[in-house]
Amino acid sequence: MVGANFVPPVEDLQVQVLSGKQIELEWKIADIIIPNIDGYKVTVVPKEPMAEHDFRPYQLDVSINDRLPLSIRNLTAGGTYEISVSVISNGRQSRNESVTFTTKPNTPGRFIVWFRNETTLLVLWQPPYPSGIFDQYKVSIFPQDAHQSILFVKKESDPPGPVQTSFDGLIPGRIYNITVQTVSRNQISDPTEAQYRTVPLSPSNLSFNRATVTSSSFDVIWDPPVGECEFDRYQISIGLKNVSPKMVFKDDPRIVRFSDEGLQPGETYEVTVKTVSGN
């Protein structure tokens, strides 16, 4: 039997996180008939120091005429809060029903790949600004060819500074999508994204055809890279000013003739052949 002074609490208290600064709060009334509900008291309490905003607990008085869901704004990105809701009826207050949640952390700043070779991409990025609250970064690469394709990097300082990590064991010449996100408890930020390629492997067995050498021309021949590699074409250059490189597509015959470049009899020329992946 319910006592005359008993005020049933709210039920099914739910929070929907909309962003780093805003949530929506919703609840239901108990099936027990509650006469003369005056309204609700909502209390918002931060669960950790909010250094940026010096956020303090505060209360909201919600009228029975206010429509749900209730929007709460100006929170700290990545912050964790406890919200309590109680029913006010005839001057009496029900027990609190509470829920804990974390807002979405801010997105990291821009990032670059500042070192790359055939199998490694070293990523450097800036922290979010404003930094908000977060514990670590989640850095992902796709296709997932790396020895570890999802990395979690701990935030080392406060305020945070630039951070770096590397992906190893990649495919030469392949294009990769890299994303960096901040993580605060169970919430992950929107990603900062970019595409980068590894360096393709070099061609092998570069040589020339002795049978076709003349006083003003020669043919260069070569083999594909040794090992798995993604590339589109070959670039063939001769060490002469004002002579543009020649291009040979990957599946075309691997031979180039130099004959219209003003070659001189008896001269020695250096030829370079490179693989090209993308731009």
pLDDT in tens, 148-163: 999 999 998 877 889 9
Same fold, 111-197 and 204-276: yes
Pairing of strands 175-184, 187-188: antiparallel
Give mean pLDDT, residues 170-182: 97
- Determine the 3-state secondary structure of 210 from DSSP: helix
Domain 111-197 in CATH 2.60.40.10? The answer is yes
From the centroid of its chain, how far is CA 23?
23
Q: pLDDT tens-digit profile of 232-276?
A: 999 999 988 889 999 999 999 999 999 988 899 999 999 999 999
Decide if 89 contacts 12 (C-beta within 8 A).
no
Q: 194's torsion region: left (phi>0), alpha (psi -120 to 50) or beta?
A: beta
Domain 11-102 in CATH 3.40.50.2300? The answer is no
Does 71 score more than 50 pLDDT?
yes
CATH class of 204-276: mainly beta
Token code pair at residue 52: 């940026």
Write the CB contacts of 212 (distance below 8 Å, at least 6 apart in sequence): 218, 219, 257
Find, among 176, 75, 159, 156, the residue nearest to 116 by Cα: 176
DSSP 245: P
Instruction: Give the separation between CA 265 and CA 46, rounded to whole angstroms.
Output: 83
Instruction: Give the separation between CA 94 and CA 213, rounded to whole angstroms.
Output: 98
**Residues 41, 44, 50: CA angle, nearest 5 degrees:** 165
Find, among 45, 46, 62, 47, the residue nearest to 10 by Cα: 62
Domain extents in the chain: 11-102, 111-197, 204-276
The partner residues of 275 in beta bridges, in order of sequence, read 234
Q: What pTM value is reported for the model?
A: 0.85
